[in-house]
Every structure is written in C-alpha cells, then in structure tokens.
Structure 1
Amino acid sequence: MSALPKPTLGGTRRRTVIAALSATVLAVGAAQVIGPANAYAAESSPVGFASLNGGTTGGSTSTVVTVTSASALKTALSSSTSQTVKVSGLITISGMYSVASNKTVLGVGSSSGITGGGLNLSGVKNVIIRNLVFKNAADDSINVQSSTTNVWIDHNDLSNGYDGLIDIKRGSDYITVSWNHLHDHDKSMLLGHSDDNAAEDTGHLRVTYVHNWFDGTNQRHPRVRFANPVHVLNNYYSNVGSYGVASTENAGVYVERNYFENVANPTVTQTGDSDAGNIKVLNNYKVNSGTEQVRNGASVAAIPYSYTPEANTSVKATVTAGAGTGKI
C-alpha cells in the first residue's frame, strides 16, 4: 500500500507475513512494507484513518474472555471493562448487540463469528473487530454510528445480511476497514446516514478502505455522503453488479490503485435521489470494466497521512490471498 500512516502505537509495527504468491506488498510509512515476495501481510495495528486521532488499540490484551454462547457474548461486549472478547464457534444471536468502548472482538480460527444478528457501535471509541464471520444478519452486520471514533474492522468474512454489511454514519470518524471479504450480498457499505444529515456528518466520516475484496456484491463499495476525504485504496472488485464506488452529496472520495474486474461502473458520482459528489481517481487497473465516472472541477481533500500504495496490477493476487478470516 502506499502512504498509509506511520504507527501511532509504541514500537515498530511487525507483521505476520505468510508467503504464497509472488505479489507486491505494501509499505505503511517507513515501518511497514508489503513487497513482491509475499502474498499478503496482516498488520498488528491499523493503517489509514484509524491510526490517527490517538490511534486505535482496542481492548486490553491482558484481560481476555472467551465466549461460546449468545448470552455470554452480549455480556462481554457491553461490559465497561477494557478487554479482548474471543468468539469461539458460530454464535446465533437475535438483533443487534451493543459493543462498548475499548474492546477487541476477535474470532477464534477461521469459522467463528455471528449469524442471525449484528454488532452495533454507538457513541463509543477504540474498538477493533477482527477475524469474524458475519452472515444472515436480520439488519446490519456491523453498524457504526453516533460519533463513534477510532474503529478498525479487519479480516472479516461478511455475507447475506438484510441491510448493510458495514455501515458507518451519524458523525462517526477515524475508521479503517481493511482485508475484509464481502460476498453474496447487495448493499455492502454505506458511509453517511441520509441526504438530510449534513449537519451531523459534514467534517466527519473519515474512513480508509484498503485491501478489501468485493466479490460478486452489487453496490455500495462504499456509497458515500458528505465525507471528505475518503480513501479507497488497493481494493479488489470482482463481478460487481450495479457499481463500485459512489460519491454523493458533495462528498470527496479518492479512488486509488484498485483492481476492477468485470465491473461495468467502477465509480459513479450520483445514485438514488442524492445530489452528486466528487471523485478523484488514480491508476486504477481495469479488466473487462468500464471507465470511472468523475466530475469536472471535483474537490477532494488531501489524504492526511503518509503511505506507499501497492502496484495496481498485484492487488488481485494480494487481496484474494489475504482477505477474510484465518489470515491473521
């Protein structure tokens, strides 16, 4: 990846690098490099916007609770204790479970997670959600709202929810969405609540989307209102139905070095009833895909962190090898 932020947590960030394909890896500031020798790398702390504003560290690693039932999960997630909540097995829940501040929610193995419901982050701070399967949610799979800040959503497998897989709205900020595999779904990722929510959302909703795999999904990868800038970097879009990235309501989205394969509309500047937004594109790689849509005179704010992007041609190999569960 390119200019992704330098670590904000103490010490040099290390990665667990799993060799497989000969794919280009990415450099995060001076400390992190994903180079041609490895298929992918799993960060130990977030890159992009979640590394700013004091950083995102999640819950205490010395206070760990492992849950195997819906009741235990609900209690652990809502606890005021800073802790790591390990989810063991696929737990069936009903509705949305609230997640308190200072939590790391971590799946055990590659098939642990949540089915039937989702997680709600509302007005909280410093949450990490990693290595979880989310499927068959009756509403959203992950809902981030009400000025929630510093969230890292990483290496999850999300599919077949009723509404959004990862929705971020209502003034939330400083969030990174990385290495997730999204499939078998329509409306993937909303950023910005509604067209009449400018007062709450303008100046917020700063999100980095990096190394995600949108696999046969239909729309909202993401669908953005008001936010500026939003960074969409080094993602792989395969067989996407309606469109890839949508910018509306004067948002500013930087769509950089992604890999679009079989995507008729990689980017659009208007969708639904929303007014148009702004998109800046740079060096996206397209296979059997249409031309990106942009607006003349578009205004997209500068990305406020340093990063080194991965070459666009290697993104497919890197992301398909590294996205989803069981890779951290």
Structure 2
Amino acid sequence: MSARRRRKTLISAVSATVLVVGGMLAVGQLEASAAESSPVGFASLNGGTSGGSSSTVVTVTSASALKTALSASTSQTVRVNGLISISGMYNVASNKTVIGVGSGSGITGGGLNLSGVRNVIIRNLVFRNASDDSINVQSSTTNVWIDHNDLANGYDGLIDIKRGSDFITVSWNRLHDHDKSMLLGHSDDNGSQDLGHLRVTYVHNWFDGTNQRHPRVRFANPVHVLNNYYSNVGSYGVASTENAGVFVERNYFENVKNPTVTQTGDSDPGNIKVLNNYKVNSGTEQVRNGASVAAIPYSYTPEANDKVKATVTAGAGTGKI
C-alpha cells in the first residue's frame, strides 16, 4: 500500500479532519489526530518542518553512533534503538528527524542541543536523568517539531526554548517527575534578541504532577497553549512575564491551584488571554486588564475542553505514533 493510501486510510479510520487553509496546515479535529504525520501550529509556518530525509536512515544503538549521526551534515532520519546512556549535551544538526524505535527507546544521562539550526523533528523518545536540559533549543533555531516524547527527572528544563528561536510546535509529550518543565525565553535581559520571536504552539501535552513552567514565557507574542492536560501541578500552570502575550485556550486543569499567573520570580508581568479552560478542583486563572495578546496566525479547530483529558492521556507520550 502506498504511503498516500495508508495516510488516507488512517485519517478515515479516526474520522480526523486536517485542514489546509491558505497554504497553512490547520489544527483540525485534534482529538482524532494523535499521530499527525506533520506538525500543526507554528512549526507548520515559515516553510514548514519536514525533518530529515526519509530515504536516508541510520539506526543507532550506542552513544558514539548517536553523536555522529546527530551532528552529520546529511539530511537524514536517525532511529534510536534502545535507551542510550550519554554524557552531556549532543548537538543536533539541521534537517534531522530523530525518532525512537518502539516505546522505550531514547536517551538517559544527557540531552539534545539544537543551536542555530533549522528543520528538526524529535519524536517518540524517552528522556531520563539529563545532567542539564533534556531538550535545549537556542540561538535562532527555527522550525522544530517536538512530538510524542516522554520526559522526566532532568536536572534543569525538560524542553527549553530560548535566544531568538522561532516557529516551533511542542505536541503530545508527557512530562512527569520533574520541577521546572518548559522555559520559553531564558532571561529578563534578552529582549533585543527575543522580541518578535519565540513563537511556539503547545498542544495536547500532558503535564503529569510536574511543578512549574508549563511553559514560563518571556517576551514572546503570541504563544498558543491549546488543549493541554494539567494534572496535580504543584506551583502553577502557565506563566507570562516580560510583556509576553500568551493565549491559554481550552485546556483541562485538574488539581491545579494556579492555572495561569502573570508574574513569577523577579520578572516584570506579562499578558495572558484565557478562553474556555476546563477546571476541576483548580483555582482561577490570572489575567491582566487590557492585556495585549496578538492573534494566532494559523487556522485551527480546537477540541472541546471537557474532552481534552481523555484524548491526551490516551495519546501523549511514546508508543503512540
């Protein structure tokens, strides 16, 4: 069966609707699309995110082979087979798809660093016990899709995006057993590089008992936090600071005292726009009067807020693509 026919069969089977509007991939019927073949949201813009060549594939089972494959100049797909122990951060070059084999393959002891690169996909990987960040995206990296990973117990951030990076989608990841989950914008004094950038879509992620930064945003406007499930979050869900603009839409908050906050740490406050979030045993969202949040620049059809928990718990993490 051809790839096109297989894709058509899959879409028919789950009754998904993926729309293309004005050349942009829309977020359509996301509750039925836990295994999109291409990213939705910001990573679908700016020329799109296709990752590495599907005809040049290398399978790695050791740290040395992984390091070589990730840093190669070749456009290729890197298949990670097994849980590979590494030390420090491994650099990922442009035009790469890094994908785990099965549900238990990935990286332990270190993380992946994307610095000044373009067109990278990271999918279906387990990340454990990183000595720094699990995934670090920085230095004007663009067009990245981080999808269907399982991340826990790192030293610093699980998925940190900073230093002018842009056009990124973070989808269908499960984050657990961790404190500072996801940073967007690394410091209060980096506005000259970050303003006009750091545009990220966070959709259908499961923040499972994590504590803070889901995400914690500086400067970026807009950031789209759509249809995520927050369960038993310790400190807060989403934070907007340094005049950032964050649209928090139709998420499911369960046992979250502070679903959104407009100030944290020593940062100046930011802006949050909320719409139809579903709350169970959770507090009231914080917003700022007169908040300025830019319009979302792509077309999408959000999932009903009360369906998000079931959809995300069934579809997030590894082994689901």
Hey, what does 1:117 align to over in structure 2?
A: 110
Tell me which amino acid in the other structure corresponds to 2:273.
Answer: K
Whether 1:264 aligns to 2:269 is: no
Matched position secondary structure for 2:246:
strand
Tell me which amino acid in the other structure corresponds to 1:315.
Answer: V
Hey, what does 1:47 align to over in structure 2?
A: 40
Mapping 1:139-178, distance limit 5 Å: 139-178=132-171
Of 73, 79, 84, the residue aligned with 2:77 is 84
RMSD between aligned residues: 2.2
Tell me which stretches of 4 or more aligned residues in structure 1 moved more than 2 Å.
10-20, 24-36
Matched residue pairs, number? 314
Higher RCO (CA-CA < 8 Å; seq separation 6+): 1
Deviation at 1:34, TM superposition (A): 3.1
For the Cα contact (< 8 Å) 2:27–2:302, is it kept in 1?
A: no
Distance 2:61 2:161 in 1: 27
For the Cα contact (< 8 Å) 2:27–2:301, is it kept in 1?
A: no
Mapping 1:129-278, distance limit 5 Å: 129-278=122-271
Larger helix share, 1 or 2: 2
1:84-134 per-residue CA deviation (whole Å, 9 max, x = no partner) reads: 000000000000000000000000000000000000000000000000000
Of 301, 306, 321, the residue aligned with 2:294 is 301
Mapping 1:46-65, distance limit 5 Å: 46-65=39-58
For the Cα contact (< 8 Å) 2:157–2:181, is it kept in 1?
A: yes
Distance 2:97 2:303 in 1: 28
Hey, what does 2:29 align to over in structure 1?
A: 34
Matched position secondary structure for 2:34:
strand
For the Cα contact (< 8 Å) 2:121–2:146, is it kept in 1?
A: yes
Tell me which amino acid in the other structure corresponds to 1:199.
Answer: S
1:15-38 per-residue CA deviation (whole Å, 9 max, x = no partner) reads: 846989xxx9775557774377x5
TM-score by length of 2: 0.94
Deviation at 1:193, TM superposition (A): 1.2
Instruction: Give the gaps of 5 or more residues in structure 1.
Output: 1-9
Distance 1:169 1:185 in 2: 20
TM-score by length of 1: 0.92
Distance 2:286 2:5 in 1: 42
Tell me which amino acid in the other structure corresponds to 2:280.
Answer: V
Deviation at 1:69, TM superposition (A): 0.0
